[in-house]
Amino acid sequence: MLTSKAWLDRLVKKSSALGASVVLATSFFAVVGTAQAAHADTTTTCNLPTPAPEIRVPIGGTAESPKTVAYTCGTELLSTTTVSVKFSVTPTTVPTGGQFTVSAEIPALTLKTAPTTAGTMQVDAAMTVTGGTPLTISGNKAGGALTVGSTAVPTATITNSITATGTEVVIKPGILKLTVPSGSGGGTNTDIVEYDCLPGLDGGSTAQPVDIKVTLTVPATGKTNEDLAITWAQTYDGTSELIAPTTLPTTAKMFVFLDIAGISPTTATGESTTAVAVDASTRKVTLQSVPIKFKPTTTGTATIKPGKIVIGTSATATTGAITCTVTNATELKSYTSTISSGSASPSASATASNTPNPTTTRTVVVTKTPVGGGGGVTKTPKAGAETGGGGELGPDGRMFVLTGSVMIAAAGVGGLMMRRRRTLRG
């Protein structure tokens, strides 16, 4: 069976790493000898004060937030035994059936011994919830970044989402566990990511164990508010293979997630450029490289690890989708990038505007003044007698008038001369 082969590969690798002898039988495995790790993780357990604190979130009212809880920790890991964690609820007013976030702010810590390799502190801030879901919250999440040769661990905030189901949600913090993984980070840890993928074979509820070798290409440096481009390359390890359900949409793409510590944001998502290829007969999913881009918003040393994988029509798809969660997060190789200050905010585009600038237009009206009289009437005939339209005839009309006047004058002169001759004869 495919699932048995995958579990076999995983168990053999685990046992080999621990130095145990593995004997293969026809129907089971017997682990012979004592399995001992060459290096163990260092974990300290922090207990609650008495009485145990509670955070009440009345629906429609104001939450008791923030609230600081002083834990008492063991002496294995830290230079102090008291760790004060601030719990906050956002938003502080929650409507009926509403969703809110509860945050646990882990303060800056000082280790007893500086780590020899870079990595990320793992934080398990357990909580129980009444009047909301999920009912319990636990499991390791990325805390502050671990720096080689330094005992200082920066602050980190762990967040969880809760949905109200009653008239009041009561959150009770539980035991706090802080872990420094052995040999965390760098090239000393594994690049084989162990995933549990759902749905299982034939759409079942039993997860498919799939081992994938993931290699991240991460720039050594970056700047805030500028894209940090990362490439996620992956291949199956051993006989592992992911089988797609028949309900997987043909347009489904692969979405990969990064777990980031030391800067903000604390996660980033990449999307495959093409739809996922599925073998028609075996339903085996073909893995592909995925580009990832995100903009850091704070400076610091980013510690980056591969996270979950979703295959579907979107990064949050559930219908017909495949979701693979990491089961060996503390064992994974981490990648670092030093983020320095860049531009204060994403720069505005320098594209010229097509909007025309307003133009002032002046309109001048010229009125020709009639000759003589400054534009007014110089003489009005008595009783409004008509004066004729000769003045409106223009230059050609004046020529006719002049010619007529000359002819009349000539006729008059001619008449006078004829009368003078008659007088002389008589």
Q: What pLDDT, on the 0 to 100 scale, is given for residue 371?
A: 53
Residue among 87, 89, 93, 91 nearest 62 (CA)? 93
**Residue 379 pLDDT greater than 80, yes or no:** no
- In the chain, the amino acid numbered 138 is S
340-361 per-position pLDDT tens digit:
998 766 554 445 455 555 555 5
CA distance 126 to 139: 7
β partners of residue 28: none
Question: CATH assignment of 190-343, given 3.40.1110, 1.20.1070, 2.60.40, 3.40.462?
Answer: 2.60.40
Characterize the bridge pairing of strands 82-90 and 99-106.
Answer: antiparallel
Residue 129 pLDDT grade (very low, low, confident, very high; cuts 50, 70, 90): very high
Q: What pLDDT, on the 0 to 100 scale, is given for residue 119?
A: 80
For residue 374, CA distances in Å to 20, 298, 367, 368 come to 122, 80, 12, 10
Contact indicator for 312, 318 with CB cutoff of 8 Å: yes
CA distance 228 to 268: 10
Most trustworthy range by pLDDT among 59-73, 296-310, 378-392: 296-310
**Residue 252 pLDDT greater than 90, yes or no:** yes
Distance of CA 3 to the CA centre of its chain: 36
Distance of CA 370 to the CA centre of its chain: 77
Q: What pLDDT, on the 0 to 100 scale, is given for residue 186?
A: 45
Characterize the bridge pairing of strands 267-271 and 119-130.
Answer: unpaired
Q: What pLDDT, on the 0 to 100 scale, is given for residue 34?
A: 34
CA distance 83 to 125: 12
Please tell me whether the peptide bond between 51 and the residue prior to it is cis, using omega within 30 degrees of 0.
Answer: yes
- Please list, in sequence order, all residues whose beta carbon lies within 8 angstroms of the beta carbon of residue 75, skipping any fewer than 6 positions away: 44, 81
**Residue 36 pLDDT greater than 70, yes or no:** no
For residue 27, CA distances in Å to 3, 13, 51, 199, 398 come to 14, 19, 51, 26, 133
CA distance 307 to 294: 15
Please state the rounded mean pLDDT for residues 149-165.
90
Residue among 222, 328, 311 nearest 265 (CA)? 222
**Residue 44 pLDDT greater than 60, yes or no:** yes
178-219 per-position pLDDT tens digit:
988 754 334 457 889 999 999 988 777 889 999 999 999 999
The dihedrals phi and psi of 340, each to the nearest 5 degrees, come to: -105, 175
Domain boundaries, the chain: 1-38, 39-183, 190-343
CA distance 159 to 105: 9
Residue 37 pLDDT grade (very low, low, confident, very high; cuts 50, 70, 90): very low
Residue among 258, 269, 275 nearest 312 (CA)? 275
Burial 371-386, CB ≥16 within 10 A → b, else e? eeeeeeeeeeeeeeee
Contact indicator for 56, 78 with CB cutoff of 8 Å: no
The more confident residue out of 64 and 386 is 64
359-372 per-position pLDDT tens digit:
555 655 555 555 55
CA distance 227 to 293: 6
Please state the rounded mean pLDDT for residues 404-421.
76
3-state secondary structure 107-173: CCEEECCCCCCCEEEEEEEEEEEECEECCEECCCEEEEEECCCCCEECCEEEEEEEEECCCEEEEEE
Residue 191 CB coordination number (10 Å): 16
213-247 per-position pLDDT tens digit:
999 999 989 999 999 999 999 999 888 899 999 99
CA distance 187 to 133: 39
DSSP category for residue 279: -
16's tokens:
């080999």
Residue among 199, 184, 210 nearest 333 (CA)? 184
Give counts: helices (H), strands (E), the chain.
2, 25
Residue 65 pLDDT grade (very low, low, confident, very high; cuts 50, 70, 90): confident
CA distance 225 to 296: 6
Q: What pLDDT, on the 0 to 100 scale, is given for residue 130?
A: 93
Residue 108 pLDDT grade (very low, low, confident, very high; cuts 50, 70, 90): very high
Please state the rounded mean pLDDT for residues 114-124.
82
Please state the rounded mean pLDDT for residues 71-96.
90
- In the chain, the amino acid numbered 115 is P
β partners of residue 133: 163
CA distance 331 to 352: 52
| High-pLDDT (> 90) share of the chain, % | 46
CA distance 194 to 262: 24
Please state the rounded mean pLDDT for residues 128-133.
92
CA distance 193 to 328: 7
Q: Residue 267: helix, strand or coil by DSSP?
A: strand
